[in-house]
Structure 1
Amino acid sequence: MDDRIRRHAEVLVDQCAEVQPGDMVRVVAPPVAEDLVVAVYERLGEIGARPTLSWRGSRAQRAYKLALDPEDASTAEHTLAAIKETDAYIGINGARNVAESSDVSADVMTALRRANKELQDEFRETRWVGTQYPAPGNAQKAGMSTEAYEDFVYRAVDRDWDEQRAFQSQMVEILDDASEVRIVSGDDTDLTMSVEGMIAENDADDNNMPGGEAFTAPVPDSVEGTIHFDQPRMWRGEEILDARLTFEDGDVVEYSASQNEDALEEILETDDGARRIGELGIGMNRGIDQFTYNMLFDEKMGDSIHLALGRAYDENVPEDREPNDSAIHVDLITDMSEDSFIEVDGEVVQRNGTFTFEDGFEAES
């Protein structure tokens, strides 16, 4: 077995999920990721954990969704019960065909997202991590050979995570003390939001592998202005291009896309919370240096920011505040490498992708 797969498994089990002897661990993965599952199970055995495995078949899921009446979508109580008894969850993504569910109706997908919200809420109470196996379908979507994609994935995953965390902590400290954030890029992005009292978090080797971002939540009704998401967003196999959103009092009041605008509309129509922003994330993983149509990696790219339509993460919102609530959490990305800056309380903290605490930073253009 490739040593990089074993190292990947060790990071997932030991650092991300922090599995202890006797823990009940749920592993969910597609068959294409069997090598990583084997390595994860080997490590769980060495620790003395108690795992259970659920294979996730994309063709079977598609068949179910095509046959399902949206009115029949409801919470899977047996899955909910299993999550409640789980100490740690390890989710592994990987696809032979990334567009397998592209012909499933929007009504079914929306109904299932709403039905699964209770599962998502309970799932977040466990120790969990999600990761990517370098499967052929994902390599093809990224426009890379399987071997090149493997190198890309492991370059992003196999890092000095203590060093990465320390690097990101500098941005976390800036966000934690901030009142207002302004994002400017080119001529068509100028967006402000309040983050006063919100809690900034450091995503290194925790819930996502790879990690690589500092993130917080805006005050839901504070987002004002317009943003152009110049990086594509895949949604159920459809590519949304050039999404533009205009906000007033926190709500999306205008939207457009140069391709698949109906998919963007589907996202926004999920529920009331889907028209508000639940997360501001700032990508900081320099090991991710190209766009690959995989949000787990793309949102962590250095020189990028992302905003998530929908649900805010509980860890970003103090107990005395009401978080933005939704059945979705959909990230959209803007490149900040050129003609761009991030301003915090009137001070530029990143210009053209370079942070104030990095060599080469220029406070003024």
Structure 2
Amino acid sequence: DYSVRNVIGIAQKFPDIGRKVVHCRHLGAKMLEILAVKPIHPVAAVPGGFSKPLKTEEVEALKPMAQELLEFAKFSMDFAKKEIFPKYMEAVEKLGFIRSGFLGTVKKNGKPEGAFELYDGELRLMDAAGSFEDFKYDQYTDYIAEHVEPWSYLKFPYMKKVGKISMDLENPVGVYRANTLARLNVSDYIDTPLAQKELEEFRKTFGRPAQNTLLYHWARLIELLYNAENVARLLEDPEITSKDIRKKVEPRAGRGVGCVEAPRGTLFHDYETDANGILTNVNLIVGTTHNNAPINMSVKKAATDMIHEGKYDEEVLNKVEMAIRAYDPCLSCATHSLDGTLAVKIAIVNSQGETIETLCNF
């Protein structure tokens, strides 16, 4: 029932789990506050590094929180595999299904190389068949191009070496995805034991690369488990209290490219400055921008599969929305617009192209 498939519905059906989710969300915010001063819009990251070192007593305070979050991640993975995914496998297999390539970061200094990585590695661009190329993040313009359509406020990145982009559902060209499922697909392995075990099971069932759109949720749980394991591991590293946390930065002319795996996908910041350090050129490609073409394709696939003869209801529309929510998009993050406004107009048309209903916010 779509009317209760929301946060309130979860809290009513599983009150104990609801309380556990809220508590663990609080723990995560508290840990971020200890690490970076503020849980929302942290301020500790500054040009050249970090503004404050982590104290020994703070590390000791963080350890039990990290352990509790690890137990929650293990519980979440187990609960979803037993109580959720088996009941919705038909939707997982079909809803919003498309074929695409994938982009993510892999570790290059590990043994062997190719491990799952979020911060420090090289980018891997994989095609739909599983072939891939690795490259350094400041080479991204050699591998990724951006296309513009008049009907979207977002750009459409695509595989540059293919030479074009096509969002045709039967024969897509140049399309790739980012975010959790992409990160798992491009990685050869995960270097934490629990997450690696889940990855092996995941690949036995869905192959590599896995293409099903709703598998983004399954991938998020594996990634949650990895992050919980990794936090506990990092807190045991004596280097975490090092006071060597910032290098002096002076304004100068140049170009800097930064890249990190944000939750929604690979995040590029590309800046050029003059001799005074004033920005002269900026380009950002955020996670949702990478997924712009795939989101449109998944929505079209879901809509064409479920809307027949112009007949639809709220439950059908809610299922179409599921294809969007799988990508966890942030459209405001991804928008390229000068005035900051985002006018939205949705037209529902029949097979003859006649408009049945129009919704807009302006």
Q: What's the TM-score, normalizing by structure 1?
A: 0.26
Specify which structure has the higher proportion of helix. Answer: 2
**Structure having greater relative contact order (Cα 8 Å, sep ≥ 6):** 2
The structure having more radius of gyration, on CA atoms, is 2
Q: What's the TM-score, normalizing by structure 2?
A: 0.26
Specify which structure has the higher proportion of strand. Answer: 1
